[in-house]
């Protein structure tokens, strides 16, 4: 059976399972409660299901509706379009297709893109892990939640043909300057530093860069605070002010190794 061919089946809600690799990280409980409170069989629509070789029936689209049904009556049958022979990659692609108008958040989308073997996402995963970091929704040292910033840095790296990749260079500097500090993984810090590196490229002394950042008073949290305050005064983006402050820090005492001021053409 092909990816575009399915069988219509009536399946008890209790028999439908979830594989988190091709689903959201968690249910929106408020959404489930709303569906349950206003339960209407005619409005449930169709549940998209993958019938795997292990005979498991896994939800691709319709997890919230299925959960609401399970709470009311686990044996109630739902109308399902059942696809057979799908790979995990195809399941992940279908999840993204069916949820186009009800998009999962960026971190959930990233996780599913990994399952779908998206090349850009796989590269981001490798680069972050190689530097001792992990893309993860839970706030913790060594975790990066700012997946949108990583995608933007990846695009910038391709645009300027950076070597090494800007994600690799950025995380190397951050880790050597501040370790796995949670504050260093904020989007504006990641992107501001990446843009600074991209602008100056081979002109930079990378060893000097992480040394001056490590020695900077107040660490990365103070850098973020100052950049935020300056952005308000200058009516600019915090990312730009991060890059500006990094430039000032780098140039202090640099003598012949200084770089042009941020915003000045090179």
Domains and CATH numbers, the chain: 7-104 (3.90.1530.10), 118-257 (no CATH)
Q: How confident is the model at residue 198 (pLDDT cuts 50, 70, 90)?
A: very high
pLDDT at 252 over 60: yes
Taking 90 as the threshold, does the pLDDT of residue 199 lie above it? yes
Of 53, 87, 49, residue with least CA distance to 65: 49
pLDDT greater than 80 at residue 104: no
The predicted model gives 174-183 an average pLDDT of: 95
Query: How confident is the prediction for the chain on average, in pLDDT?
Result: 91
Look at residue 71 in the predicted model and tell me its pLDDT. Answer: 94
Q: Give tens-digit pLDDT for 57-101.
A: 999 999 999 999 999 999 999 999 999 989 988 998 888 888 765
Confidence of residue 2 (pLDDT cuts 50, 70, 90): very low
pLDDT value of residue 42: 81
Give the separation between CA 29 and CA 121, rounded to whole angstroms: 28
Give percent above pLDDT 90 in the chain.
Answer: 71
pLDDT surpasses 70 at 29: yes
For residues 239-250, give the mean pLDDT.
Answer: 96
- Triad 217, 130, 24: Cα angle to 5°: 95
Q: How far apart are CA 98 and CA 104, in angstroms?
A: 11
Question: What is the model's pLDDT at position 4?
Answer: 64
Phi, psi of 50 (to 5 degrees): -110, 125
DSSP three-state, residue 127: helix
| Residue 264, pLDDT above cutoff 90 | no
Reply yes or no on whether the pLDDT at 220 is more than 80: yes
Decide if pLDDT at 102 tops 70: no
Distances (CA, A) of 14 to 39, 76, 78: 17, 8, 10
């Amino acid at each position: 059976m092909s990816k575009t061919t399915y069988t219509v089946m009536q399946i008890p809600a209790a028999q439908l399972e979830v594989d988190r690799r091709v689903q959201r990280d968690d249910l929106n409980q408020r959404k489930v409660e709303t569906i349950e409170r206003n339960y209407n069989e005619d409005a449930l629509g169709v549940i998209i299901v993958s019938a795997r070789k292990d005979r498991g029936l896994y939800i691709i689209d319709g997890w919230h509706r299925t959960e609401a049904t399970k709470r009311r009556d686990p044996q109630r049958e739902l109308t399902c379009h059942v696809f057979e022979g799908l790979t995990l990659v195809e399941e992940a692609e279908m999840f993204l297709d069916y949820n186009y108008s009800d998009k999962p958040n960026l971190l959930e989308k990233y996780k599913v893109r990994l399952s779908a073997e998206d090349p850009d996402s796989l590269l981001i995963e490798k680069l972050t892990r190689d530097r001792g970091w992990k893309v993860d929704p839970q706030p913790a040292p060594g975790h990066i939640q700012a997946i949108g910033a990583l995608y933007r840095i990846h695009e910038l790296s391709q645009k300027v043909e950076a070597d090494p990749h800007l994600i690799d260079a950025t995380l190397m500097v951050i880790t050597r300057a501040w370790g796995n500090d949670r504050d260093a993984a904020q989007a504006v810090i990641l992107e501001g530093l990446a843009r600074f590196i991209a602008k100056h490229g081979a002109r930079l002394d990378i060893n000097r860069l992480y040394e001056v950042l490590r020695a900077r008073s107040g660490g990365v949290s103070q850098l973020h605070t100052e950049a935020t305050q300056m952005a308000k005064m200058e009516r600019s983006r915090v990312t730009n002010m991060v890059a500006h402050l990094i430039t000032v820090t780098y140039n202090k005492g640099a003598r012949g190794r200084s770089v042009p001021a941020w915003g000045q053409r090179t």
